């Protein structure tokens, strides 16, 4: 798993390096000593088509909640976005890739 660090903290160190006369090795040590930021792994899912009377509409493979949809007059319109609006999973194609 990759380690993430706060961009703002790195920029502060880089700006300080000139003032303090740090060598590149010293700057590297300071950056390496920064604590890892809390970052969530990107989750992936895909849209799954309902069966039965809801056929044609989709739900998230991860959280099982329906894709965003709205009424446009008499017609229901479904929005299959690149991200699940409920759990934030990145959506691939219906085959799950």
Q: pLDDT tens digits for 26-77?
A: 988 988 888 887 766 778 999 999 999 989 999 999 999 999 888 899 988 8
Rounded to whole angstroms, the Cα distance separating 45 from 23 reads 45
The values of phi and psi at residue 43, to 5°, are: -95, 150
Written as six digits, the tokens of 45 are: 């899912």
Res 62: pLDDT: 93
Strand, helix or coil for residue 3:
coil
């Amino acid at each position: 798993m990759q380690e993430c660090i706060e961009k703002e903290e790195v920029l502060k160190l880089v700006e300080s390096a000139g003032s303090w006369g740090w060598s590149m090795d010293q700057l590297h040590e300071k950056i390496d000593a920064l604590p890892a930021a809390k970052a969530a792994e990107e989750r992936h899912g895909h849209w799954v088509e309902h069966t039965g009377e809801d056929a044609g509409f989709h739900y998230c493979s991860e959280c099982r909640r329906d894709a965003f949809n709205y009424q446009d007059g008499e017609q229901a319109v479904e929005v299959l976005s690149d991200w699940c609006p409920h759990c934030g999973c990145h959506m691939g194609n219906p085959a799950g890739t």
